[in-house]
Structure 1
Amino acid sequence: MSVWEKSSTVRVVPPARPRKLSKVPFVELADGRLQGVVSSGSDIGRVYVSSVAAGTYAFACSTNNNRPCGGARGTFCNHIRALIGEAVLQYGAERVARYLKADVDGDAPDAGALTAAMTATRPAQGDTSAAAPVFSRFLRHLAYLELAPVTTPLPEMQWFPTTRAVA
């Protein structure tokens, strides 16, 4: 058994490239989807919860209060395209393509090639039921930013990955 298997922490994989959090503050590969929160381009107080399902590329995009995105009619909207672009920055194109089970041509795929490969299959609009849990997880992550800095352990953060080497 390796050292990391014996510890209660896991290594964090650093982002493939730095990314700006203002447009897409939250992106994750979870629950069989690429999903995240995307800021509205027109209203500073509005965000969209967007997702693309692995394998089928079924997509969903709605506001944080479950109003459908006007641009997600039959194809990926700009919010989903931004989500894919930020996921590629965060995780790398190969990892995102592998997770979504996308067959991308070329040795070094990028966000555009990944998006083109998925839209070529003519994906259908999917279920927006994942929006609430994704947005809730995003808000929970934001709450940790508001905590005062302390050196004592936080019980709810025991699971959180660390970048420190574990002996």
Structure 2
Amino acid sequence: MSHWEKSSVARVTPPARPRKLAKVPFVELADGRLQGVVSSGSDIERVYVSSVAAGTYAFACSTNNNRPCGGARGTFCNHIRALIGEAVLQYGAERVARGLRVETGGVPSADGIVTEMALTRPAKADGQAAAAVFSRFLRHLAYLQLAPTTAPLPEMQWFPPTRAAA
């Protein structure tokens, strides 16, 4: 049994490049989407929950109060562009392109990924994922406030204990 199988600590993939968390504090490739939280440029108390679906590139962007983004009308808004840019910094352009199922035809970049997706005329998605994404962001913030410890966290133990072979 390896060290990771005995440990309650999850392996974390380091970011492809360092990124600034002030503009996009939360970004993830999950649930068949690129999704995250993007800070408002005009109001410090407002954030936008943005997502792009893999393959169809259907997108959604709304505030944390479920108000639709004014810039996401038929095309990607600046929040979604910022989300893609930060995802490329976090995961690398190849992983983001692969996760969104974007064929870039060469070495991918954030701008290249956005351009390829925009060429397919993505549909505006419903914002049903926004609540789940924002909830995961808040949970992520709660973990950052915990004191460092090596003790297991019950909510982080996803797998049942294994029985020793008899």
TM range, normalised to the smaller chain?
0.7 to 0.9
Are residues 4 and 84 of structure 1, via their aligned partners in 2, closer, same or farther at CA, if it must alter by over 3 Å? farther
* CA distance in structure 2 between the aligned counterparts of 1:72 and 1:83, rounded to whole angstroms: 13
- Deviation per CA, 1:56-101, whole angstroms, max 9, x where unpaired? 0000000011100000000000000000000000001101101111
5+ residue gaps in structure 2? Answer: 159-166
Q: Highest relative contact order (Cα 8 Å, sep 6+), 1 or 2?
A: 1
Does the 8 A contact of 1:34 with 1:53 survive in 2?
yes
2:12 matched residue in structure 1: 12
Give the 3-state SS of the residue equivalent to 2:61 in structure 1.
strand
Residue number in structure 1 paired with 2:136: 137
* Aligned sequence identity (%): 78
Which residue pairs with 1:69 in the alignment?
69
Displacement of 1:157 in angstroms is 3.0
Q: After the TM superposition, which of the residue ranges 137-146 and 54-63 deviates more from structure 2?
A: 137-146
Structure 2 CA distance for aligned equivalents of residues 102 and 153 of structure 1: 39
Q: How many residues align?
A: 157
Per-residue CA shift, 1:96-142, capped at 9, x if unaligned? 10111101022x21100010000010101001000001000000110
Opposite residue 97 of structure 1, the aligned amino acid is: A
Deviation, structure 1 residue 7: 4.2
Secondary structure (helix, strand or coil) at the match of 2:127 reads: coil
CA contact (8 A) 2:4 2:11 kept: no
The alignment status of 1:157 with 2:156, answered yes or no, reads yes
Distance 1:4 1:116, change over 3 A: farther
Runs of 4+ off more than 6 Å:
none
Contact 1:57/1:124 (8 A) holds in 2:
yes
Unaligned runs of 5+ in 1: 160-167
Matches within 5 A, 1:76-115: 76-106=76-106, 108-115=107-114
Q: What is the TM-score of this pair, normalised by structure 2?
A: 0.88
Offset of residue 154 of structure 1? 2.3
